[in-house]
Structure 1
């Protein structure tokens, strides 16, 4: 009895991510600009101006701005929205909370990390090294952001991951200021390498310690940057 050869079916296709609404696209666009330092403390985000520049209606822009305000990233004024200003005490307290949350979150991410996630982290680390060596500050920030968002995406507790992301976004201006300094960027790169190696080795304890080391270095860089700015202001007075 001969069997009829089964014809091969169509190649499997990977599921496509859901399409974003206009509001979601505007939200991610604005958040990306804020994370890359393209929106400063002196800038005002006005819904009709943004809508015109993006060729969209005003309502989804307004909704995106309100979402960013709800997340604590923007403040509303009579003339649009501005970046929320945080005091040094605010920043210090945020880092204190992150020290409590991020090391154990990274440990859980290490245990559940996928091969795809680890590959992206490794690629982002290599991109960070190249950007640092060529003094490409924006390239470094983008690679570093990809690395961070990737390991956070591996955290099984989505509420915890969302909280960590929001806290990190609140100190984004601090991060941008410190990473412009080659010394502090070197600290950041050292931490990135340590965290990557620990993830690759599935060493939970090393992951926690590496993330803790990174946050402590970030705090030190923040205070050093603040002291430098104060000294410059005093000298120019």
Structure 2
């Protein structure tokens, strides 16, 4: 397991005077988690990250511990890694997301704005470009931008916060499935369908398509895991 190198420039403290160094490190690592820059093979070690960022070790460790306490990382004797969820954990997450996300998407559709729809459209275009180049991380970043664009149109921020947390915890699912070209193509197709429903302001279609996309993600994840188990058994 390797230590994940930083691919995102660190924020200069003077540029964001309202944020502490710990907050900046936390925001940077959360952004990398969202974009898929941190994989299940990576290990985050506080003193190594501190050296890369040219900051002291303590704020980095505090940021990592905060991510651990929020369930985004797991602590080990040699650093922090992505959580190792059981199949039951994944099933529970999808069950809750299916209860919340489709309804939230319908509310977002009701409250949609031109700029939000524009951001969703650009994200789909970027996702398609990344898919054609087999750029998995680029696709994940664009997919995240699409999701954030419609989530920003959900007026109930407490609801949005809960959904954000659940989606963050499901990062292991995206890392496992979006590597597959066929699944990524299917994901892109469903994303386009969701966008089309938003543009038409068809709340029922938005709700149905978001739910269908979640079910497809769950099915693809389980199929991937079964295939891996079969390969190991062979």
Q: TM-score, normalised by structure 1?
A: 0.86
Task: Provide the rounded CA distance (Å) in 1 between the counterparts of 2:131 and 2:208.
Answer: 23
Does the residue aligned with 1:31 lie in a helix, a strand or coil? helix
Task: Provide the rounded CA distance (Å) in 1 between the counterparts of 2:81 and 2:179.
Answer: 23
Match of 1:124 in 2: 123
Does the residue aligned with 2:55 lie in a helix, a strand or coil? coil
State the 4+ residue runs in structure 1 displaced beyond 6 angstroms. none
Does residue 168 in structure 1 map to residue 164 in structure 2?
no
Task: Provide the rounded CA distance (Å) in 1 between the counterparts of 2:140 and 2:41.
Answer: 22
Q: Which has the larger radius of gyration?
A: 1
**In the TM superposition, what whole-angstrom CA distance separates every residue of 1:136-173 from its partner, at most 9, and x where no partner exists?**
22221111111011111211111111111111111112
Does the residue aligned with 1:202 lie in a helix, a strand or coil? coil
User: 1:77: how far off?
Assistant: 3.1
Match of 2:110 in 1: 111
User: 1:19: how far off?
Assistant: 5.2
Task: Provide the rounded CA distance (Å) in 1 between the counterparts of 2:209 and 2:120.
Answer: 15
Match of 1:13 in 2: none
User: 1:175: how far off?
Assistant: 0.7
For 1:48-67, what aligned pairs fall within 5 Å after superposition? 48-67=47-66
User: 1:18: how far off?
Assistant: 8.3
Which structure 2 residue ranges, 5 or more long, are not aligned? 1-15
User: 1:42: how far off?
Assistant: 4.6
User: 1:176: how far off?
Assistant: 1.6
For 1:194-213, what aligned pairs fall within 5 Å after superposition? 194-213=193-212
Comparing 188-197 and 31-40, the one that deviates more = 31-40
**In the TM superposition, what whole-angstrom CA distance separates every residue of 1:35-90 from its partner, at most 9, and x where no partner exists?**
34443445432222211110112232122112211211112234332222100110
**In the TM superposition, what whole-angstrom CA distance separates every residue of 1:79-107 from its partner, at most 9, and x where no partner exists?**
33222210011001100110000011111
**Is the CA contact 1:103–1:207 (under 8 Å) kept in the aligned structure 2?**
yes
**Is the CA contact 1:37–1:173 (under 8 Å) kept in the aligned structure 2?**
no
**Is the CA contact 1:128–1:189 (under 8 Å) kept in the aligned structure 2?**
yes
Task: Provide the rounded CA distance (Å) in 2 between the counterparts of 1:42 and 1:176.
Answer: 11
Q: TM-score, normalised by structure 2?
A: 0.87
Match of 2:32 in 1: 33
For 1:52-91, what aligned pairs fall within 5 Å after superposition? 52-91=51-90
**Is the CA contact 1:36–1:176 (under 8 Å) kept in the aligned structure 2?**
no
Which structure 1 residue ranges, 5 or more long, are not aligned? 1-16
Comparing 53-62 and 141-150, the one that deviates more = 53-62
Match of 2:11 in 1: none
